[in-house]
Amino acid sequence: MLKLTGLKKINISIFISGTGSNLKNLIIHSFKKNSKFKITLIITNNPKAKGLNFAKKFKIEKRIINYSNIKNAEKKILLELKKNKVNLICLAGFMKILSKNFIKNFKGKIINIHPSLLPKYKGLNTHQRAMNNREKYSGCTVHYVNSKLDSGKIILQKKVRILKNDTFNSLNKRVLKHEHIIYPKALKKVLSNL
């Protein structure tokens, strides 16, 4: 693979499926003076993803990928990543599981944010499950992506206290705020290790 040294900025692609608040936050960080990365491509499986508006707003290339056939979808994505010289992938609310083969192509170069204190609550509905189990804390984790769901090496994690009157929405909102703090920090850490 490519050697990621020198003064050149790292090209990042962000994969989304929905609102894109993490995407927006990372874009804003990429504009900071000493930023070591540039977001060059936004990928989504969802043509209605709200986050696509940020592509337009910040003039970033986007690709909407038809996921009716995963193999073809991933082939197309890999091609786009190559064309756009992407070095690193950040998953930010991307609700599709990447195949082993795809991950092999970007080994150690895909990171994800997950709304739980991994290894607890892999998969979906994390906050609701944590609340149902009367956990004291939920939280968020940035981790490397490997071939097992939400199981790669943890880069950063933040605990968030579950309050007595929390609903899914209130907890989700509070955790998202922390996601916006830890994702750029974790990315910085990853970039310094490339």
Give the single-character DSSP code of 99.
Answer: P
Q: How far is the CB of 2 from ligand GAR (least distance, A)?
A: 27
Residues near 116 by Cβ (< 8 Å), separated by ≥ 6? 122, 126, 127, 130, 138, 139, 140, 141, 150
Name the token pair of 76. Answer: 């197309």
Return the number of the residue (65 or 176) whose C-beta is nearest ligand GAR. Answer: 176
Candidates 114, 127, 143, 180; catalytic one: 114
Binding site for ligand GAR (CB under 6 A): 16, 18-22, 51, 92-93, 113-115, 140, 176, 179
Return the number of the residue (4 or 146) whose C-beta is nearest ligand GAR. Answer: 146
Return the number of the residue (83 or 173) whose C-beta is nearest ligand GAR. Answer: 173
- 178 carries an active-site annotation: no
Give the CA distances from residue 24 to residues 57, 77, 143, 172, 189, in Å, rounded to whole numbers and listed in that order. Answer: 10, 21, 19, 17, 19
Under 8 Å between Cβ of 102 and 77: yes
Q: How far is the CB of 51 from ligand GAR (least distance, A)?
A: 6
Return the number of the residue (85 or 177) whose C-beta is nearest ligand GAR. Answer: 177
**Whole-angstrom distance, CA of residue 194 vs CA of residue 53:** 30
Q: How far is the CB of 66 from ligand GAR (least distance, A)?
A: 20
- Which residue of this chain has its Cβ atom nearest to ligand GAR in the complex? 93
Q: How far is the CB of 58 from ligand GAR (least distance, A)?
A: 15
Name the token pair of 15. Answer: 């994969």
